[in-house]
Amino acid sequence: MKSDPFREWVRGCKNGIPIGLGYLAVSFSFGILALRSGLTVGQSVLISALNLTSAGQFASLSVIAASGSYIELALSQLIINLRYCLMSASLSQKVDRAAPFFHRFFMAFGVTDEIFALSVSTHGPLSPYYTYGQMSVAIPGWTLGTLLGAVAGNVLPPRVLSALGVALYAMFCAIIIPPARKNKVLAVIILCAMGASVAFTFAPLLRDISSGTRVIILTVAIAALSAWLRPVKEEDAP
Amino acid sequence: MSGNVYVYILVMALVTYLIRMLPLTLIRERIKSNFIKSFLYYVP
């Protein structure tokens, strides 16, 4: 079945609205923090427009503020964002084989936790336009939020800002809970992942591992274990 | 703050984009191994 690009794009925009709103809230706090780290409003917005990644951008602020080396910045980004590598690999299997190859270069820019989760959970092959739709809402949300945060950030009390940060988690729950309800194996895996991350946060030795590295270790370990114990049957594989 | 802020921004943008772009463009074939397929399915 050939899907209509425009329709896919509209569907992506619609489903991307919660992502865009969540990004607006999170990047708002990024904007404030960026300004406090000594960047200008323009530079903060530029970072958001070019990177579209929350953890990596927040981490970059501390490296930039501490005048770290370029190598240090590159390495920290590589480690924190290495999970995107796994997501892109997964997406490479999901993209509609009939779609022209150049789409992959543009889709790559939009690989974030949320856009990936939504793209990969669509039924059947993934139309690039579905991802573009999400990007058309998410990228302006992320960039605009940064701008608003950087401009108006000094007005709001810190308490309100941390409350906005919770929005990201709520949005993420909205993405992972529906598939978990349909698939018991997924639900169990998600619970294990949550348990393991708690262990990594509090257990001695384990808690010394940086959060970026932690995400990579847990993702690789849990996905490998699940793939070994419960191989996906041919028909539901992406 | 020493170092050029714009160079910082460019470095991070480049690293982040390459991480996302390389797997998506280099893996053109369908992956045959059921283990790898299952692994990628569970990545989210």
Note whether A120 and A112 are within 8 A (CB).
no
Q: Is the pLDDT of residue A165 over 70?
A: no
Q: Which residue's entry shows tokens 């895996």? A: A189
CB contacts, 8 Å: A92 with chain B = 23-25, 27-28
| CA quadruple A5, A131, A32, B14: dihedral sign | negative
Q: What residues of chain A lie within 8 A of the CB of B29, using their CB?
A: none
pLDDT tens digit string along A31-42?
888 887 888 889
* Residues A223, B40: C-beta atoms closer than 8 Å: yes
Phi and psi based region of residue A124 (left: phi greater than 0; alpha: psi -120 to 50; beta: remaining): left
Q: Report the mean per-residue pLDDT for chain B.
A: 79
Least confident residue range of A54-58, A158-162, A186-190, B7-11 = A158-162
Is A54 an interface residue toward B (CB < 8 Å)? no
Q: What SS3 class is residue A131?
A: helix
**Which chain B positions have a beta carbon within 8 Å of A120's beta carbon?**
44
Mean pLDDT in residue range A156-172 = 67
Q: Locate tokens 């932690």: which residue?
A: A214
Q: What percent of chain B has pLDDT above 70? A: 73
User: Which residues in chain A have their CB less than 8 angstroms from residue B17's CB?
Assistant: 108-109
Q: So what's the ipTM on this one?
A: 0.75
CB contact under 8 A, A108 and B13: no
The answer, for A188 touching chain B at a CB cutoff of 8 Å, is no
pLDDT in tens, A170-214: 666 766 777 777 777 778 888 888 888 788 778 777 777 665 566
Tell me the nearest-neighbour CA distance from B32 into chain A, angstroms.
11
Split at pLDDT 50, 70, 90, the class of A238 is: very low
Confidence band of B1 (pLDDT split at 50, 70, 90): very low
Range in A79-88, A114-123, A132-141, B32-41 the model is least confident about: B32-41
Cα torsion at A161, A166, A172, A173 (round to 10°)? -160
